[in-house]
């Protein structure tokens, strides 16, 4: 050992005499007999002297290899189990496997929706709130079928009998209709579609609680396809009007009605579009488009939001064979409420009228008339002596505004004019020979359409 080495061995110890060695042996034997630890003091001992001996590279390598082998085997077993028996690993997290279950991520439910037992969003509260106010509407009419005069001749009937298809007790064949309606007032007023009760002699309303009552037709408005009925019953469930203007594309909605007469049915979808016009369904249009299933028998039923409030009256569907294709239309509740109030008040809807026949300005017309844009409505004809004729309007004029409100097409112009009160003055702005001209006229009342 070197002189600088901190370790001391037996060879490095200083030489001692026999007497000294004997004393050490006696002391050592005495300590061992008394089971006391033997501690030898070495002059240069320090913990750093054992550092090299405690970190054996060979031992560390063996431990690392052992860890790598155990990890590899564990991963291999996990892969085999996940492939062959995944239900052993997570029996409640894999849908479609034996013992599996579909889990929903918990979260706050939108207003008006309830959380079901499995934490899935549910519209049951909205449906339960609105369904009692939706009714079945049954209509019946006596159809006077055209007959040949000879059928009324007693001599002819004596030899040839009754006309085909005629009953001896009921010479007039009957027609029936089926639709839906919505109770909107505790006084018994029911909103439905005009085409549901068109031409009906008898109308009956059936509630979801089993009660039935004959209904009186308060009034109809063919130009919006709306009608108001009235029934006389106590403790009627009513629906609350919502705010269609607050709807946005993508909002969930429910369609409630009596499709095909199977009974009260709720279907769910979203708002596909808002403010649909120029569909040539009605004269005045403001439709909510939805993909909620609307089928024959749903006409006049309710379109409600997630709070169970009325936002539309189901009216029409786009279909090639009469079935649902996911394109349905409901009249906005705002328009329905305005029409209903007019029908209840006066039995008709009073609208403004200026006496013109119009056509939309397209690109070809705009180019031929040197118009800056393809917007507005061109006057195709005038009613002789009508408000527009008296004000000096001419065929070929392009109407672009009513009382400073811009009109981009015929649908917008009809709505602006219809909103005017008969007898009021109105300023109509037209383009004539490239010049903008203002005409003042007195609004007349729009004739009622049968």
Q: Is 195 a catalytic residue?
A: yes
> How far is the C-alpha of 382 from the C-alpha of 384, rounded, in Å?
6
pTM of structure: 0.63
Q: Is 251 a catalytic residue?
A: no
Q: What is the CA radius of gyration of the chain?
A: 45
Q: What are phi and psi of 228, to 5 degrees?
A: -125, 130
> Which token pair is 61?
């390598």
pLDDT of residue 3: 44
Which residue, 338, 404, 346, 413, is CA-closest to 375?
413
Residues 298, 180: contact at Cβ < 8 Å?
yes
> Which token pair is 229?
């009925």
Chain CA centroid to CA 306, Å: 9
> Which token pair is 375?
């917007």
Cα torsion 431, 435, 436, 439: sign = negative
Residues 323, 295: contact at Cβ < 8 Å?
yes
State the catalytic residue, choosing from 180, 272, 299, 332: 299
HSE on the CB side for 267, CA within 13 Å? 20
> How far is the C-alpha of 129 from the C-alpha of 242, rounded, in Å?
13
pLDDT of residue 46: 46
pLDDT of residue 163: 56
Which residue, 222, 242, 261, is CA-closest to 312?
242
> How far is the C-alpha of 115 from the C-alpha of 121, rounded, in Å?
5
pLDDT in tens, the chain (450 residues): 444 444 444 444 445 454 444 454 444 454 455 544 444 444 444 444 444 444 567 788 888 888 888 888 888 888 887 877 776 765 544 444 444 433 343 444 445 555 545 555 688 899 999 999 999 999 887 655 555 555 555 544 545 555 555 544 444 445 567 899 999 999 999 999 999 998 888 899 999 888 999 999 999 999 999 999 999 999 999 999 999 989 999 999 999 998 888 888 999 999 999 988 878 888 888 899 999 988 888 899 999 999 999 999 999 888 777 667 889 999 999 999 989 999 999 888 888 999 999 898 889 998 888 888 888 899 999 999 999 989 899 999 999 999 988 988 888 888 889 888 899 899 999 998 888 889 999 999 888 776
> How far is the C-alpha of 417 from the C-alpha of 429, rounded, in Å?
13
Residues 311, 247: contact at Cβ < 8 Å?
yes
Q: Is 153 a catalytic residue?
A: no
> How far is the C-alpha of 77 from the C-alpha of 71, rounded, in Å?
10
Query: Which alpha helices (H) appear in 8-131, and where do they start and end?
Result: 18-33, 51-54, 57-84, 86-89, 124-130
Report the b/e string of 98-126 with b at 16+ CB within 10 A: eeeeeeeeeeebeebbeeeeeeeeebeeb
> How far is the C-alpha of 58 from the C-alpha of 120, rounded, in Å?
59
Q: Any idea what DSSP says for residue 285?
A: -
State the catalytic residue, choosing from 194, 221, 225, 407: 225
State the catalytic residue, choosing from 139, 180, 194, 195: 195
> How far is the C-alpha of 407 from the C-alpha of 413, rounded, in Å?
5
Which residue, 199, 226, 197, 198, is CA-closest to 214?
197
């Amino acid at each position: 050992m070197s002189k600088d080495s901190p370790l001391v061995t037996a060879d490095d110890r200083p030489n001692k005499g026999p007497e000294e060695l004997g004393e050490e042996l006696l002391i050592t034997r005495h300590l061992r007999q008394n089971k006391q630890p033997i501690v030898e003091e070495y002059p240069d001992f320090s913990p750093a002297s054992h550092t090299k001996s405690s970190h054996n590279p060979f031992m560390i390598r063996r431990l690392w290899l052992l860890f790598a082998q155990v990890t590899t085997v564990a991963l291999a077993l996990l892969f085999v189990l996940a492939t062959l028996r995944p239900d052993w690993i997570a029996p409640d997290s894999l849908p479609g496997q034996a013992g599996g279950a579909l889990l929903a991520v918990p979260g706050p439910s939108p207003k008006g929706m309830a959380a079901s037992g499995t934490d899935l969003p549910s519209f049951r509260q909205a449906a339960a709130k609105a369904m009692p106010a939706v009714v079945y509407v049954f209509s019946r009419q006596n159809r006077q079928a055209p007959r040949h005069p000879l059928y009324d001749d007693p001599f002819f009937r004596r030899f040839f009998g009754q006309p085909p298809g005629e009953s001896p007790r009921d010479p007039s064949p009957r027609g029936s209709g089926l639709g839906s309606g919505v109770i909107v007032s505790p006084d018994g007023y029911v909103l439905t579609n005009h085409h549901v009760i068109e031409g009906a002699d008898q109308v009956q309303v059936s509630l979801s609680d089993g009660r039935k009552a004959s209904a009186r037709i308060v009034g109809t408005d063919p130009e919006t396809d709306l009608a108001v009925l009235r029934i006389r019953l106590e403790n009627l469930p009513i629906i609350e009007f919502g705010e269609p203007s607050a709807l946005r594309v993508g909002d969930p909605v429910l369609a409630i009605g009596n499709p095909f007469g199977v009974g009260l049915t709720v279907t769910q979808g979203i708002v596909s579009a808002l403010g649909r016009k120029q569909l040539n369904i009605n004269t005045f249009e403001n439709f909510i488009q939805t993909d909620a299933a609307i089928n024959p028998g749903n006409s006049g039923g309710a379109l409600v939001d997630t709070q169970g409030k009325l936002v539309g009256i189901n009216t029409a569907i786009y279909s090639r064979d009469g079935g649902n294709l996911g394109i349905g239309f409901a009249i906005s509740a705002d328009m329905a409420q305005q029409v209903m109030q007019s029908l209840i008040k006066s039995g008709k809807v009073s609208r403004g009228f200026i006496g013109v026949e119009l056509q939309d300005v397209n690109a070809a017309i705009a180019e031929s008339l040197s118009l800056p844009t393809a917007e507005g409505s061109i006057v195709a004809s005038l009613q002789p002596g009508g408000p527009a004729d008296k004000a000096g309007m001419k065929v070929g004029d392009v109407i672009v505004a009513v009382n400073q409100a811009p009109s981009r097409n015929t649908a917008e112009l009809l709505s602006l004019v219809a909103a005017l009160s008969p007898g009021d003055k109105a300023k109509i702005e037209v383009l004539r020979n490239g010049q903008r001209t203002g005409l003042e006229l007195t609004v007349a009342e729009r004739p009622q359409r049968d």
